[in-house]
Structure 1
């Protein structure tokens, strides 16, 4: 049985009776700790966890890179007519990403879209915009262990280099090849990052180095709900042991 928490901490579809002793209850949550309200009632309640966290019982990251099988093919980079793009709807001045952007934009031109900039775009326009940019600002709304969302994976799918702001580079490299993205922490300042992007814009050979990973991998997006259910069923089939998540609060919010 799945139980999902929304960003306000509400438990949906919770039964009123105690959990039968050996019944599997799975805590599924894809929001970060900053976006999820802590509840003491969660402890000693669930058997299993399913989330983006790699140390979950059932880890379900926002995307995956799978090793290629079959014949080697050459990847063709989509046509680019923009340098840097950012699409954001959840705009808050206190976010790290907002503060970084405010300085970064002083040193490089950034094409901005989304509700945060009063410039909403359709899903189709999203695909066209992102694929037409050389770099996309894959800035997370909060910084936590393993919290690497579709903001990083969708540009990879669309043939754009993500510039990431989130957990450390080492964390990203557990999921994404190190030569597939640019991390803001690799630079001493937003100005230095801007200069690097301008250099890549002028040097096609250097820019193409960020696509060499495609010789070995293909991208795969997570199908929300569907992938969780499939992987949960597979896990329960393979693992018959009984356990309880005693301190979910400590594990997730730590």
Structure 2
């Protein structure tokens, strides 16, 4: 750690071995966050997160899944206040695109915008990188798509992805079980099975929140607890 002193005080300075420590620290913050998962299906997209509410906390409001536009949602892992700021930026950007061009913005365009915003915080002194990664999922003119951004400003497209604590093992699980022809319900079941792989609470769905966007409606919808229970019953077929 002593070798990094000086180089880890600002995101504008490379260490002698070509590292930006502030960005690495932000990525470590993401790895300490609870799981967030995105799964692509032939019928739409699924976003799911693990949330661990306190005993007296209201669970009606999802803290880690956000709606950006009618057809785009975001699931976040890491420092959630940073996610809220980025989501607000994405909402302004999306509505500005609609007003300027009279059409809905593409998912890839929103992902690039958020990645550009994150990258700016790695270039100036007096700021810190955003300690959050986000899954941007939606259905646009080009079809269904899922992107992931990270604190460095990188954005990458995936068919299925997990971010947060234990994501390496969960991604290995998704690689093994994901198929291109999944229905939306099977994608939801796979997301639940993936979260339970690392969750402290293996039974029930009290710690899981989910949203979906179907290819037919192209509308962001939160998944009800009753539907979560139904999807959970079929998640067993993905359990190793």
- Verify same fold: TM over 0.5: no
TM (norm. structure 1) is 0.24
TM (norm. structure 2) is 0.25
Larger Rg: 1
* Greater strand share, structure number: 2
